[in-house]
């Protein structure tokens, strides 16, 4: 399996090499074409000049032989070219490198080439000149025309070695090769550094993810400021995910532990009472009393299971379905809930204060969910309200909200406990010896339902008065 480093390094290296080769080939081709063109133009000018000198020499009285020889040698020496003069039959009569006589004098140029020069007026070729030069050359042939008769009286062949003309390109190629190697080395070093720098956070992320998968929930990824923005975003996203999963795992473990504890207590009670009746420890005349206690514990278990099912049903849902939202009278809903607690209120001899508007107050929400919210709040208020004290229920209208409050007079809740009241299984009584009708799920359900409506709920506790207040959208 290829690593991130190899996936980054090799493609980048191939691209750099391909780019250098392409640029080198393009520059070499361009320079070669340019040098060839310039050499051709220079040879053409040289051939034209020598042809004019030769024509002046052949014209009687125009130029002496000595002057022609001097001018020919000077012209070829300055231009660093070689020139030969042939007569009209192609016989070589003069060579620029040895105007007073050379070993080439007397040789004959091919008639086909001679005829082609006379017909076209100038011929440019690249290659070797048989009998004269062995190396490849740029060669220009041009006729010598008698100015008086306008007849071809000879031939000028001017040439220069290709290697001499391309020497500049070869030097340039050496320099380019050195620079290319240097660029490749620097590019490889840079790519290695960058690839490893990019791969290192990913390797750390993979290790953290592997540790996390093996139960090390505290594993986190270091966010390096010099890393690419995408890698930083990925590291932050992983850390956020890990943080949430860790909290979720903690809550799950806590939930399982709490459920186990809450189920264990009534089941132990039920089992103990039944065993006592079966083995005779509990007298028969007391069976009815203890059977009633078993029935009460069974009902407690049933309510606990229903609450947990409600929580399971609400988890994963972000909002209330639109088809369940409707306009209803919140005052009527609250009044009906309060009536259901008449017996418990009477048993605890509670005073009830109700502050409801005379006219209906319409809210936009799920009536069943809000009924459960008010029921849980009133149930919580009755449970923790001291005997003979006051239970309050009030509803008031705001600009666009309905404010519903449930309050009771009892013990003041410490400030550090208030934010925890809506957590699952949270109880002020850590010993769990009192308020055995509650499991700390009612307020959690209340918070969940209100949040699913997109609204807020708050709690205050001062001077023995605890008040819960939630909001709903107000409609006309």
**Residue 99 pLDDT > 60:** no
pLDDT, residue 56, reads 75
The helix/strand/coil state of 219 is coil
**pTM for this prediction:** 0.47
Chain mean position to CA 244: 22
Range of the domain at 28: 4-169
Instruction: Mark which of 282, 315, 348 sits at the end of a domain.
Output: 315
Q: What does the pLDDT look like over 322-377, one tens digit per residue?
A: 888 999 999 999 998 898 888 889 999 999 999 999 899 999 999 988 998 998 89
- Spell out the residues 6+ positions from residue 315 whose beta carbon is closer than 8 angstroms to its own: none
Q: What does the pLDDT look like over 26-76, one tens digit per residue?
A: 877 887 787 778 778 888 888 888 888 777 777 654 445 566 777 777 677
**Residue 321 pLDDT > 90:** no
Position 256 in a domain? yes
Residues 409 and 470 in one domain: yes
**CATH number for the domain that contains residue 267:** 1.10.287.130
The total domain count for the chain is 3
Position 196 in a domain? no
d(CA 216, CA 209): 9
Residues 225 and 161 in one domain: no
- Spell out the residues 6+ positions from residue 90 whose beta carbon is closer than 8 angstroms to its own: 108, 109, 110, 111, 113, 114, 155
Residues 291 and 234 in one domain: yes
Higher-pLDDT residue of 305 and 384 is: 384
Q: What does the pLDDT look like over 84-96, one tens digit per residue?
A: 888 888 888 777 7
pLDDT, residue 177, reads 77
Position 192 in a domain? no
**Residue 216 pLDDT > 80:** no
What's the rounded mean pLDDT across residues 418-426? 77
Q: What does the pLDDT look like over 120-143, one tens digit per residue?
A: 888 888 887 666 777 788 888 889
**Residue 409 pLDDT > 90:** yes
pLDDT, residue 130, reads 65
The closest of 473, 455, 302, 445 to 374, measured between CA atoms, is 445
pLDDT, residue 97, reads 67
**Residue 439 pLDDT > 50:** no
**CATH number for the domain that contains residue 55:** 3.30.450.20
What's the rounded mean pLDDT across residues 228-241? 78
**CATH number for the domain that contains residue 436:** 3.30.565.10
Which of 67-76, 297-306, 382-391 is most confident? 382-391
Position 182 in a domain? no
Within 13 Å and on the Cβ side, how many CA atoms surround 147?
Answer: 12
Instruction: Mark which of 275, 298, 315 sits at the end of a domain.
Output: 315
Residues 346 and 381 in one domain: yes
Higher-pLDDT residue of 428 and 116 is: 116
Residues 298 and 149 in one domain: no
**Residue 406 pLDDT > 90:** yes
Residues 311 and 338 in one domain: no
What percentage of the chain carries pLDDT values higher than 90?
Answer: 18
How much helix, strand and coil, in percent to the nearest 5, is found in the chain?
55, 20, 25
Residues 327 and 246 in one domain: no
Position 336 in a domain? yes
Residues 310 and 341 in one domain: no
What's the rounded mean pLDDT across residues 275-301? 83
Residues 26 and 122 in one domain: yes
What's the rounded mean pLDDT across residues 422-434? 56
pLDDT, residue 151, reads 85
d(CA 30, CA 45): 23
Instruction: Mark which of 257, 292, 315 sits at the end of a domain.
Output: 315
How is 377-424 classified by DSSP, letter by letter? HHHHHHHHSPTT-EEEEEEEE-SSEEEEEEEEESPPPPTTTGGGTTST
Residues 259 and 332 in one domain: no
Question: What is the enclosing helix (H) or strand (E) of 7?
Answer: helix 4-58
**Residue 414 pLDDT > 60:** yes
d(CA 299, CA 340): 18
Residues 372 and 254 in one domain: no
Residues 10 and 143 in one domain: yes
Average per-residue pLDDT for the chain: 80
**Residue 269 pLDDT > 50:** yes
Structure tokens belonging to residue 114 = 């001679």
d(CA 476, CA 281): 65
The helix/strand/coil state of 179 is helix
- Edge-to-edge strands, sheet with 123-129: 92-95, 82-87, 152-161, 133-145, 123-129
pLDDT, residue 458, reads 93
By residue count, the chain amounts to 476
pLDDT, residue 449, reads 87
Determine phi and psi for 394, rounding to 5 degrees.
-140, 150
Torsion, Cα 36 42 44 47, to 10 degrees, reads -130
Determine phi and psi for 143, rounding to 5 degrees.
-75, 155
What percentage of the chain carries pLDDT values higher than 70?
Answer: 82
């Amino acid at each position: 399996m290829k690593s991130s480093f190899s996936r980054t390094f090799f493609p980048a290296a191939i691209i750099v090499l391909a780019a250098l080769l392409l640029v080198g080939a393009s520059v070499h081709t361009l320079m070669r074409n340019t040098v060839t063109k310039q050499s051709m133009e220079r040879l053409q000018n040289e051939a034209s000049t020598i042809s004019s000198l030769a024509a002046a020499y052949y014209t009687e009285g125009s130029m002496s032989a000595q002057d022609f020889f001097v001018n020919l040698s000077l012209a070829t020496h300055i231009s660093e070219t070689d020139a030969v003069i042939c007569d009209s039959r192609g016989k070589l009569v003069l060579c620029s490198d040895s105007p007073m006589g050379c070993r080439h004098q007397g040789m004959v140029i091919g008639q086909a080439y001679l005829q082609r020069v006379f017909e076209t007026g100038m011929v440019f070729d690249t290659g070797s000149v048989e009998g004269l030069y062995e190396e490849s050359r740029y060669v220009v042939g041009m006729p010598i025309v008698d100015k008086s008769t306008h007849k071809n009286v000879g031939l000028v062949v001017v040439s220069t070695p290709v290697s001499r003309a391309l020497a500049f390109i070869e030097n340039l190629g050496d320099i380019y090769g050195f620079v290319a190697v240097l660029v490749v080395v620097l590019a490889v070093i840079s790519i290695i550094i960058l690839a490893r720098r990019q791969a290192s956070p990913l390797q750390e992320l993979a290790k953290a993810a592997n540790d996390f998968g093996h139960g090390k929930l505290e594993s986190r990824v270091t966010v390096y400021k010099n890393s690419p923005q995408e890698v930083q975003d990925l590291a932050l996203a992983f850390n956020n995910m890990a943080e949430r999963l860790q909290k979720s795992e903690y809550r799950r473990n806590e939930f399982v532990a709490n459920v186990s504890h809450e189920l264990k207590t009534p089941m132990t009670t039920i089992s103990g009472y039944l065993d006592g009746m079966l083995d005779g420890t509990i007298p028969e005349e007391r069976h009815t009393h203890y059977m009633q206690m078993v029935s009460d514990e069974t009902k407690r278990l049933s309510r606990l299971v229903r609450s947990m099912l409600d929580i399971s049903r609400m988890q994963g849902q972000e909002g209330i379905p639109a088809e369940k939202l409707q306009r209803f009278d919140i005052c009527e809903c609250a009044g009906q809930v309060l009536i259901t607690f008449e017996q418990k209120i009477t048993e605890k001899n509670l005073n009830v204060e109700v502050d409801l508007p005379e006219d209906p107050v319409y809210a936009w929400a799920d009536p069943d969910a809000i009924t459960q919210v008010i029921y849980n709040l009133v149930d919580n208020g009755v449970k923790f309200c001291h005997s003979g004290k006051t239970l309050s229920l009030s509803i008031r209208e705001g600009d666009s909200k309905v404010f519903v409050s449930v309050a009771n007079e009892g013990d003041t809740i410490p400030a550090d406990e208030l934010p925890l009241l809506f957590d699952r299984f949270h109880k002020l009584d850590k010993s769990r010896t009192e308020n055995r009708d509650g499991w700390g799920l009612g307020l959690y359900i209340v918070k969940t339902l209100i949040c699913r409506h997109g609204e807020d709920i708050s709690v205050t506790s001062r001077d023995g008065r605890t008040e819960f207040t939630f909001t709903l959208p107000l409609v006309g």
